[in-house]
Amino acid sequence: MKRLLAPVAAAPLCFAALTDLHAATTISGTQSTAVSTSTSGDLTITGTVSPSSGTAVTLDSSNTITSSGTISITGNDDTTGILVKGGNTGSVSLSGTLTLTDSSISTTVPLTSAERRYGIWVSGTGVFTGDISTSATLTVRGNDSAGILIATEMDGSLSMSGSVSVTGNNSYGIHTTAITAGTILISGTVSTLGTGSVGVALDGVTEGAVDVTGTITSTGYLSTTRPTTTAGFAALTANDELQGGAALRISATTTGGLYAESTSVISSYGSAPAILVGASTGDMALGAYPGNTRGLVLAGSIIASGVYNGFSTTGIQIGGLGGTVEVVGGLSLSGTLTTLAYKADSTGILVGSGATVTDIAISGTVSTTVSSQSSTATAISIASGATVNSINIVGTVAAYATGYSGATTSVASNAVAIKDASGTVSLINNSGIILAQVSKSTDNTGITGTATALDLSANTIGVTINNSGTITGDILLGSGDATVNLTAGTVTGALSFGSGTNTLTIDGGAVYVGALTSDGTLATTVTNGKLRDTSTSTINMRSLTVGSSGEIDFTADPANNTNTLFNVSGTASLASGTKIGLIFKSKVTDSTTFTVIKASSLSVGTNDQTLLGDVSYWYKASIAADTTAGTVSVNVARRSAAEAGITVGASAFNAVYAAFDKDTQVGEAFFNATSASTFGSLYEKMLPDYNGGPFQLLNRGMMALARTEADPTVAMVDEKRGAWVQELGFAVSQNRDQGPGYNGNGVALMGGYEKSVENVGIVGLSSAYMITAVNDPDASSGNQVKGQVFTGGTYWRDRLGGLMANASLNAGYIRFTSKRVFTGTDDDSTAFERDADAHWTGYLGDAHVGLGYEQSLGFMFVRPNASLDYFVLYDGAHQESNGGSAFNLNIASRTGQQGNAEASLTFGTQLGGDFQWKPALTVGWKQVFGDGAGDTTANFAGGSSFTLVPQSMVGGGPIARLTVQAGNRYSDIGLELGGESRHGYIGYDARFVSKFRF
């Protein structure tokens, strides 16, 4: 041992030098008998040592063992791979394989019936002086067994960079029960499988540091993969859910502390902690890790998963076993700690009774989740009887409680980020994230329970909380004096002050949103930032000071005649520039005045309407401060659509107001909208499609079909029968003006059959299949109306010299689907979405007549054209679903009709002989007349109807088309690109047509 005097330490070495007469031995072949260094001297194994029982290799003299070969024993209890006897000096170095196993491997419980098998066993009397190092593959199957067991005092280091795999109950991967005077380094992989089996158990004093850079895993489960089906859960038996021990256990003093480096992974699957520090009796400590000030330094990954239902989990447990534990300098976690339990509690870090961890510093992530009923997720838990003075967070501490997948009723689970039941925490600094969240599962009706960020209700000595990061969840304070300093960032959740002398300060642009609770001892200062109190109760405080950059938002619930009231026993001081706002939980029906501050003494820097801050935009407001009465009051009345700046869809204003709060989250989103832009955006999301996007898109598609039916050919003979096929792409776009804007596009496949009839001309039949989609980007990026269109029609055209005439009549059946999307943020700052879906049918018709005259001008031609189209679209009535009671609409049938008159001039040339080319440019004017898309009448569930009128499209604008045709007597192909523009509306299309005679 290091504490022995040098002469004493040297004596055995001298004695060994005088008495050891054996030469070194190398085993390169296969040996079935045991070997010991007392007969072999320094031993090197490059071959195989494989006796049938007992001990394969023994270090029983001051020599060394080096093995890159194979050491194995199959069958029999009480077997040992390498036995190192105390009282000797030497070393063990392995790089091959060491296997103690059964003759027949079982994959079901019991996994083995063998007992007391040890891969490397340091035993006997006296001190073993030397190091043990293994990069080998070490495999042991046996109950009450170990991969490596240090059972007598060892003056040297233990290094494991290979793998240790142990299968059996109450066994260990690595186990120390005696003093180890040196470093313990685990850079390889340790895994244990068995009931009560521990990955690494350091139950003996370590006079050095413990350094983990590798992987340690423990479980009692045959499989660590959770079933995903009902049948999978039903197939589970008790043998599938056997519980293992901790992955890493330290139950005796470690003078150099524990460092789990960034590459380390420490995992426990089951109820045992991933890391357990403490013992049932006596005192122990983790000294500071060399080069660090802390005894527990965690930079890697730590995982604790229950996998199956009903098994609680703990990531790190310090103390709480009966004895005392001191972690010198505290705990730091810069890695990740993840715990997960189903239908059971889960704890990230547990500081138990009898443990002293002066400081907890989190720069990494602690994430704890329960997916269960009546369970609690606690990220950091400090038990009664423990001591923790401070907590510093620059990373993330998060607790999640989610509804259990498969449940049919609401479940009750709680999430707590930090809970101090000891009452010893006096300082919390957060510049990171502290989060407690209670949420639904994907198939669950909901979840009840509480989300608590900081539970300091046991504190009686006083506590200071400094926050410049994010805290989400309730903060519960005790009877000790509490100082809460919000210097930046956000805090969301209830803030409950106890009976101490308390202080709340908001500065640096910090924002607090939640329900304050105080019994009158609170002094509140808002220097630069916002305090939004979401309660509708009276808050008693001793003073209130608001600076020139400070804002306070109060909450009113007119339906229950309540609102937030700051009742100040001392002075309330509002500097010039202070803003007082008012947010609502229910609707105002009549002009109402709310008193929000009542103070014994009130001073106001600027007593006019500049004092008014954010108010829910549904309402117009005025503010009055009475310094004599010591009151500040806000009067509100509902805005009209014009006062709210609603010009698009204003006729739905009253209907939206009547419906919006039927959905709690939709209501909260509207009540929290305090600006015209935010309010206007939410309002427009409530409206149906009404500005004619699908109408104009289908109109354009049908006009393109009519042009194909009317087009003259290049050189084909008209005396024969023929057919044609066309591919069409078309699109429309309308800027926001009197109605919301839209973008639409469609594709179509069209075809027809035609023949020449003497003295009549060309007559034909056509059909088409179209797919259309119209988006409303002004309301929501997800809003869309889709259509599938099936048409059939007949047409005629004829030509007499240069004179050309044509006419067509087409009709169609439409299958419409639509989706409207409402997105917003609720009182908990949680983003949400509602999707309203509908399906309905419709019909369309288009009549077309056209006339043109083509005149040759040498190598060019000119053709004046005139045409008239009349388009009609009928939309059937339909009812939306899935959007909720505040968002779903019932939409009545509507009919739209529009005439389109075009006058144009085509310039072109015709080139070639038997095969001819005919490029042309058409320019002209299009005049639109008629009623347009038709009015839309709708109502929210149980509400009054409203009618929305689409933007008028009456008027004219230029058109242009570029066409290239080519063909001979029997075939004709054409490509056309065209567009139009008027009143912020743009339409364009591209079509390719192929005609042939037979």
- Is pLDDT above 80 for 354? yes
Complete DSSP assignment for 800-820: ETTEEEEEEEEEEEEEEEEEE
- Is pLDDT above 90 for 91? yes
What would the two tokens of residue 6 be? 């040098």
Please state the rounded mean pLDDT for residues 65-80: 96
- Is pLDDT above 70 for 647? yes
The parent domain of residue 925 ranges over 684-720+736-958
What would the two tokens of residue 230 be? 């009902």
- 595 within domain boundaries: no
Q: Which residues are CB-contacts of 692 (< 8 A; sequence separation ≥ 6)?
A: 734, 739, 742, 896, 932, 933, 934, 950, 951, 953
Chain-centroid distance, C-alpha 156: 48
Q: How confident is the model at residue 955 (pLDDT cuts 50, 70, 90)?
A: very high
How far is it, in rounded angstroms, from Cα 523 to Cα 854?
90
- The residue with tokens 């005192």 is 283
Q: How confident is the model at residue 446 (pLDDT cuts 50, 70, 90)?
A: low
Complete DSSP assignment for 756-782: EETTTEEEEEEEEEEEEEEE-TTT-TT
Instruction: Yes or no: say if 593 and 633 are a contact pair by the CB < 8 Å rule.
Output: yes
Burial class (CB in 10 A: 0-12, 13-18, 19+), 856: exposed
The proportion of the chain whose per-residue pLDDT surpasses 70, expressed as a percent, equals 95
- Is pLDDT above 90 for 374? no
How far is it, in rounded angstroms, from Cα 480 to Cα 521?
11
pLDDT at 323: 96
Q: What does the pLDDT look like over 117-164, one tens digit per residue?
A: 999 999 999 999 999 999 999 999 999 999 999 999 999 999 999 999
- 411 within domain boundaries: no
Q: How confident is the model at residue 3 (pLDDT cuts 50, 70, 90)?
A: very low
- 205 within domain boundaries: no
How far is it, in rounded angstroms, from Cα 405 to Cα 450?
19
Long-range contact pairs involving 623-630 (C-beta distance under 8 Å, separation at least 24): 623/580, 625/574, 626/602, 627/602, 627/603, 630/572, 630/597, 630/598, 630/599, 630/600, 630/601, 630/602
pTM assigned to the model: 0.84
Instruction: Yes or no: say if 102 and 114 are a contact pair by the CB < 8 Å rule.
Output: yes
Distances (CA, A) of 925 to 303, 548, 698: 72, 61, 20
Q: The CATH number of the domain where 948 resides is what?
A: 2.40.128.130
Quote the mean pLDDT of the chain. Answer: 93
- 59 within domain boundaries: yes
Please state the rounded mean pLDDT for residues 288-310: 97
- 632 within domain boundaries: no
Instruction: Yes or no: say if 656 and 682 are a contact pair by the CB < 8 Å rule.
Output: no
Q: How many CA atoms lie within 13 A of 482 on its CB side?
A: 31
- Is pLDDT above 60 for 814? yes
How far is it, in rounded angstroms, from Cα 418 to Cα 219?
28
Q: How confident is the model at residue 22 (pLDDT cuts 50, 70, 90)?
A: low
Q: What does the pLDDT look like over 731-772, one tens digit per residue?
A: 999 888 878 889 999 999 999 998 988 889 899 999 999 999
From 159, 182, 205, the end of a domain falls on 182
From 115, 149, 182, the end of a domain falls on 182
Q: Dihedrals φ, ψ of 697, to 5°?
A: -65, -45
Closest by CA to 456, choosing from 467, 465, 446, 466, is 465
From 182, 216, 231, the end of a domain falls on 182
Q: Which residues are CB-contacts of 164 (< 8 A; sequence separation ≥ 6)?
A: 119, 134, 138, 140, 147, 148, 173, 174, 188, 189, 190, 191
Closest by CA to 934, choosing from 683, 698, 768, is 698
For residue 144, how many other CB atoms are within 10 A of its CB?
18
Please state the rounded mean pLDDT for residues 443-470: 88
Q: How many CA atoms lie within 13 A of 440 on its CB side?
A: 10
How far is it, in rounded angstroms, from Cα 785 to Cα 389?
60
Closest by CA to 298, choosing from 257, 247, 261, is 261
Instruction: Yes or no: say if 99 and 69 are a contact pair by the CB < 8 Å rule.
Output: no
- The DSSP bridge partners found for residue 371 are 342, 402
Q: How many CA atoms lie within 13 A of 208 on its CB side?
A: 18
Instruction: Yes or no: say if 123 and 147 are a contact pair by the CB < 8 Å rule.
Output: no
- 922 within domain boundaries: yes
- Is pLDDT above 60 for 19? no
- Is pLDDT above 80 for 716? no
- 510 within domain boundaries: no
Complete DSSP assignment for 459-491: --S-EEEEESSEEESEEEE-SS-EEEEE-SSEE
Are β-strands 198-202 and 172-176 bridged in parallel, bridged antiparallel, or unpaired?
parallel
Q: What does the pLDDT look like over 771-796, one tens digit per residue?
A: 999 998 776 678 999 999 999 999 99
- Is pLDDT above 60 for 612? yes
How far is it, in rounded angstroms, from Cα 653 to Cα 680?
11
- 788 within domain boundaries: yes
Domain count, the chain: 2
Are β-strands 565-574 and 538-541 bridged in parallel, bridged antiparallel, or unpaired?
parallel
- Asked which of 20-34, 55-69, 419-433, 933-947 is least confident by mean pLDDT, the reply is 20-34
Closest by CA to 381, choosing from 339, 422, 324, is 422
pLDDT at 782: 82
Helix-then-strand count for the chain, H and E:
7, 86
Q: What share of the chain is helix, strand, coil (3-state, %, to 5)?
A: 10, 55, 35
pLDDT at 6: 36
- The DSSP bridge partners found for residue 100 are 73, 140
Q: How confident is the model at residue 4 (pLDDT cuts 50, 70, 90)?
A: very low
- Is pLDDT above 50 for 12? no
pLDDT at 10: 39
| Strand residue runs (E) in 344-412 | 346-351, 355-357, 359-362, 365-371, 376-382, 390-393, 396-402, 411-412
Q: Residue 110: is the preceding peptide bond cis (ω within 30°)?
A: yes
For residue 944, how many other CB atoms are within 10 A of its CB?
10
What would the two tokens of residue 507 be? 């500065």
Amino acid at residue number 313: T
How far is it, in rounded angstroms, from Cα 848 to Cα 661?
49
Instruction: Yes or no: say if 882 and 838 are a contact pair by the CB < 8 Å rule.
Output: no
Count of residues in the chain: 998
Instruction: Yes or no: say if 245 and 192 are a contact pair by the CB < 8 Å rule.
Output: yes
pLDDT at 721: 84
Q: What does the pLDDT look like over 496-507, one tens digit per residue?
A: 999 999 999 999
Rounding to the nearest 10 degrees, give the CA dihedral for residues 354, 358, 362, 363.
Answer: -150
Chain-centroid distance, C-alpha 186: 35
Instruction: Yes or no: say if 680 and 670 are a contact pair by the CB < 8 Å rule.
Output: no
